[in-house]
Structure 1
Amino acid sequence: MSVRRARRLYSGRARKGLRTTALAVAAMAALTASQAPGLTRDAEDSHAGPAADDLGLPTADGPFAALAPPGDGSYHTELPPLRTRKGGGPVPPALGPEIRAQSGIPATLLRAYRAAETAVGRTDPGCRLPWELLAAIGKVESGQARGGAVDRNGTTLGRITGPPLDGRGFALIRDTDGGAHDGDTVYDRAVGPMQFLPSTWARWGADGNGDGRADPNNVFDAALAAGHYLCVGDRDLGRAADLDRAVLSYNNSRTYLRLVRYWLEFYSR
């Protein structure tokens, strides 16, 4: 096969793949913004999705438009970057030497995910929690805390909350925390970079940065809590079936599972 033909074939496949990905991501935006909280059977342990523009999903400027610059200076993209060779022709992402730098994970969040992997690995080594799974969930739930908008301690610069769970298109969950975490004293809202419901946080909240408090708005705390949540019971996330069950326990949606798996594969490369 000639180089020119190979490039044409790859280019066509790449465009098709990106179109498919964009459609899947757009579908996830609609799903999360309209139905996700009601999809889990146990509302107490469900994760309400944030508004679509908090997800790192396509914006009005198109599926490849970047978010605002992350707070810690890390490069951020909406979708995995498609690099091009000099003179034309795309380079498969796996061949790009800068793929790690372009993964879109702000430095502070990356430290939080890795710290959670280490901590859970000490207490529950059989779970085999990969930090890339936490990163994938963080990407889908909050666009990596809105592109890394956190302070030095890992606390978000502003609240990241989902819609009120008022029963209109969502589950009905009345306020359980007096608005302490989500700022809503009438209904609960999912809160923080990993989008915990206040009632779920009351059970799973963790202190991941050693400051003596569990704060769902802190990426170190939220990542550690998410790690424990995913590893509940005797799950072994090194097994595909257990990993799927863990992700579906976070949000009982096959579309959500596919999107998380997409980012997990990307970050794992």
Structure 2
Amino acid sequence: MSPPPSRAPPSPPTAAHAAADIEGTWSFSGGEVVIAAQADGSFLGTVIRPTRFSNCVHPTAEQMWTGLRLQPDGQYWGKHQWFNTATCAYIERGNTAFRTLTKPDGKKFLRVCFAGPEFPETQPSIDAAGESTGTTTGCQDSDLLAPPAAPTTPNVNTIATLPSQGKKKCLSKRSFRIRLKEPKGDALDSAKVFVNGKLVRTIKRDRITAPVNLKGLPKGRYTVKITAKTVLGKTISGTRKYRTCTKKKTSKSKSRV
């Protein structure tokens, strides 16, 4: 299988801008794609939940749509990543058209029309009524799932499930699991968890988790540090300190003679 296309981190806009109608999180072929503005004025579509075409999967963090640029009539032209359907190896990108349209109930949706990479001179087009021309493989509609994410970086407390000592002076439960949930409009690409500077093994399935075991360690204060990176290039980090309790002594009853 040929190597995937280079995955450079998305470049943020250089200045604040009014969100374009194409920006946001869109459903697509069983997954989700975030379209965001780039510093050069184009737009980039990044997969945050895997999508599937035929038997091939566009994985999380793949930059599936590149070079989207607004056209004078309100549609966008860009490129879509294609696979060899027999091997699921990446091949060339094909010309693609995008336009946001409105359903009868007022909800916005995105129409995407494709030309295969074997037709490099063909550029699909979508008019204001949603009618397409120049497509070689048809079109697909996507629902808007969320508006553009806030430019601020989420706090670690919004993505991490950690035990709380509450009003207690110490943490009696010395074995627990940290669970990291996906930030809204983004996805976690990787995460590292440290306990007193020591790296803890993380497990990535439906979500990233990390088991923390303080059993057998002496009474004291321990620092849990989390550093996570998102698909859209944000870094989320934070720490929490815990004081462990002393192990309760069990009294042994004396046998009577």
Q: Same fold judged by TM-score > 0.5?
A: no
Q: TM-score with structure 1 length normalisation?
A: 0.25
- Which of 1 and 2 has greater Rg? 2
Greater RCO structure (CA 8 Å; 6+ sep) = 1
Report the structure, 1 or 2, having the larger helix content. 1
Q: TM-score, normalised by structure 2?
A: 0.26
